[in-house]
């Protein structure tokens, strides 16, 4: 599998409000470094890529949001604050809903969770990650059967105009949209991260040309709380092109793999020209913030089943916080795919 990775991500290590305490985020630089070390060790070829262009980003993100993200740290610094930039207030339901001019007001306007913040290196890291996703998509366009974008920060929680869930730019959505522009008539995004990919779902909600299929922890019990229920199936022209498979707390590998088969049958039905896999490995049994039961061998099995779809596939890294195991788990998916 052709791997795209760089070191721009290291400039980003955000602050997270975790159970009432501010901590360095679970979404830490070592994650990507250890994945890169492992995929290199097992022999995958790695290359860097330029940051995503404004055009590629604006194809899925709101221009006002992009301008905000790019300038937020400088504005925060100029205001003389100590910590990382975080929202402080969010729009009440039924509020007038007008974007404030004030930076702290805009941090609330453009975010939906306090598990991440904006730091000096956030924009550089996020645009670099999205650039890796574009490069991986481009590799598929060029005929590669598969490619892996080692994205950090992750992306699937980011909507067109809100950050949260450790995500700022939606790398998987950028890749899927790039594939559409490059000539794929139908693209499927399969999201296997432990958490629901609310951002990706929202971006493609009304689209019949990009399918979104996700298996994840039931939002009744887990972040992101407000989307990912089975009844969400897409809107208007996108009706039927979204499929959610929420799973109970503590779901074991057998149930997860059975549910993956259901998800894959949805891909078969849709018949995509290319597939983007939002590859989170926070389904791992020892993940510190999640509670599913997958072991290393289950990731290999999952990779094999993804290969059986028989479509060009772009893998985009999402979550996975058991730092010592994330490299092995990701490499297992890629190895299972190549063997399959």
User: Binding residues for ligand SP5, per CB under 6 A?
Assistant: 18-19, 115, 154, 157, 165-167, 193, 195, 223, 280, 282, 289, 318-319
- Stretch near Zn ion under the rule CB under 5 A, chosen from 32-40, 47-55, 176-184, 194-202: 194-202
The entry of ligand SP5, Zn ion, none that residue 109 binds, CB within 5 to 8 Å by partner kind: none
The entry of ligand SP5, Zn ion, none that residue 18 binds, CB within 5 to 8 Å by partner kind: ligand SP5
Closest to Zn ion by CB, 155 or 280:
280
Instruction: Provide the total of helices (H) and of strands (E) in the chain, helices listed first.
Output: 10, 10
CB of 163 to ligand SP5, least distance (A): 11
Closest to ligand SP5 by CB, 21 or 98:
21
C-alpha to C-alpha distance for 275 and 315, rounded to whole angstroms: 8
Q: What are phi and psi of 11, to 5 degrees?
A: -70, -10
Cα 292 to Cα 157, 163, 256, 298, distances in angstroms? 19, 25, 8, 12
157 is catalytic: yes
Closest to Zn ion by CB, 34 or 139:
34
Catalytic residue among 9, 12, 157, 195: 157
CB of 285 to ligand SP5, least distance (A): 15
Closest to Zn ion by CB, 202 or 282:
282
CB of 169 to ligand SP5, least distance (A): 12
Please, what's the b/e burial string for 188-226 (b: 16 or more CB within 10 A of its CB; e: otherwise)? bbbbbbbbbbbbbbbbbbebebbbbbbbbbbbeebbbee
CB of 102 to ligand SP5, least distance (A): 26
CB of 290 to Zn ion, least distance (A): 7
Give the β-pairing of 187-191 and 210-217: parallel
C-alpha to C-alpha distance for 167 and 164, rounded to whole angstroms: 5
Closest to ligand SP5 by CB, 280 or 312:
280
The entry of Zn ion, ligand SP5, none that residue 166 binds, CB within 5 to 8 Å by partner kind: ligand SP5
Residue, CB closest to ligand SP5: 319
C-alpha to C-alpha distance for 145 and 338, rounded to whole angstroms: 9
Among positions 319, 330, 332, 336, the unique one binding Zn ion when judged by CB under 5 A: 319
Residues contacting 302, CB < 8 A, separation 6+: 192, 257, 260, 294, 333, 336
CA-nearest of 258, 325, 260, 316 to 287 is 325
When asked if residue 193 is in the footprint of Zn ion (CB under 5 A), the reply is yes
- What residues make contact with Zn ion under the rule CB under 5 A? 193-195, 280, 282, 319
């Amino acid at each position: 599998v052709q791997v795209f990775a760089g070191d721009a991500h290291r400039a980003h290590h955000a602050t997270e409000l975790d159970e009432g305490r501010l901590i360095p985020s679970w979404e830490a630089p070592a994650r990507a470094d250890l994945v890169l070390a492992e995929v290199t060790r097992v022999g995958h070829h790695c290359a860097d890529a330029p940051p995503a262009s404004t055009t590629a980003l604006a194809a899925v993100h709101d221009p006002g949001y992009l301008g905000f993200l790019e300038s937020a740290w400088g504005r925060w610094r100029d205001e003389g604050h100590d910590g990382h930039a975080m929202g402080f207030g969010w729009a009440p339901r039924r509020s007038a809903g007008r974007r404030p001019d004030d930076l702290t007001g805009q941090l609330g306007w453009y975010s939906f969770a306090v598990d991440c913040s904006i730091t000096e290196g956030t924009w550089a890291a996020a645009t670099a990650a999205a650039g890796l996703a574009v490069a991986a998509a481009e590799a598929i366009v060029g005929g590669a059967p598969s490619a892996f974008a080692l994205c950090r920060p992750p992306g699937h929680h980011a909507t067109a105009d809100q950050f949260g869930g450790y995500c700022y730019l939606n790398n998987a959505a950028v890749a899927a949209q790039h594939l559409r522009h490059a000539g794929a008539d139908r693209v499927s995004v399969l999201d296997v991260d432990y958490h629901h990919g609310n951002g990706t779902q929202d971006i493609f909600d009304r689209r019949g040309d990009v399918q979104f299929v996700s298996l994840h922890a039931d939002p009744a019990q887990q972040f992101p709380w407000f989307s990912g229920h089975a009844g969400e199936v897409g809107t208007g022209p996108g009706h039927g092109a979204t499929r959610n498979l929420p799973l109970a707390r503590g779901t074991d590998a057998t149930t997860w793999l059975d549910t993956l088969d259901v998800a894959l049958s949805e891909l078969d039905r849709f018949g995509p020209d290319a597939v983007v896999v939002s590859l989170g490995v926070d389904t791992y049994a020892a993940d510190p913030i999640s509670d599913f039961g997958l072991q290393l061998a289950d990731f290999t099995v999952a990779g094999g089943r993804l290969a059986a779809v028989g479509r060009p596939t772009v893998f985009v890294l999402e979550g996975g916080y058991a730092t010592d195991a994330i490299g092995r788990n990701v490499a297992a998916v890629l190895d299972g795919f190549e063997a399959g």
